[in-house]
Amino acid sequence: MPTATLAGPAPAAPHETHERFFDARPAGMLVDRPDLSEDDLLAAIAERLVFEGRTGPEPQVVIEAARLGKRKALAFLRKLLLPPPRSPLSMPVRPILREHMTRTDDDMR
């Protein structure tokens, strides 16, 4: 008598590990503010959570989720009220032209 074979689901592959991108830059870079320390960012997150009347998640969890690229955490960081910059803004150096002081009265006529 022939044996019948059942075509069932393929055997499960070993657990595939999906590595997520982890942003290891300083915490201030998550909000495009390299002058902010992680403590500054944690304080801003805690303040926002209190403002919204939320009891969780912990501020450190929000930073970890943002570093993993979680959209909700990144959107939450965009809503933060951040302290003003403490470091000077990078501006190109432009020489001050004093052409008006080098002109003579004859040149101005």
* Burial readout 48-87 (b: 16 or more C-beta within 10 A, e: otherwise): bbeeeeeeeeebeebbebbbeeeeebbebbeebebeeeee
Q: What is the pLDDT of residues 48-102, one digit of tens each?
A: 999 999 988 899 999 999 999 999 999 999 999 998 887 676 777 777 776 656 6
DSSP state of 31: G
| Per-residue pLDDT at 38 | 92
Q: What is the pLDDT of residues 25-53, one digit of tens each?
A: 888 999 999 889 999 999 999 999 999 99
- Entry pTM: 0.60
What is the sign of the dihedral through the CA atoms of 48, 51, 57 and 58? positive
DSSP state of 27: G
Residue 44: CB atoms within 10 A of its CB come to 20
d(CA 85, CA 82): 9
- Which of the pair, 17 or 30, is modelled with greater confidence? 30
| Per-residue pLDDT at 93 | 78
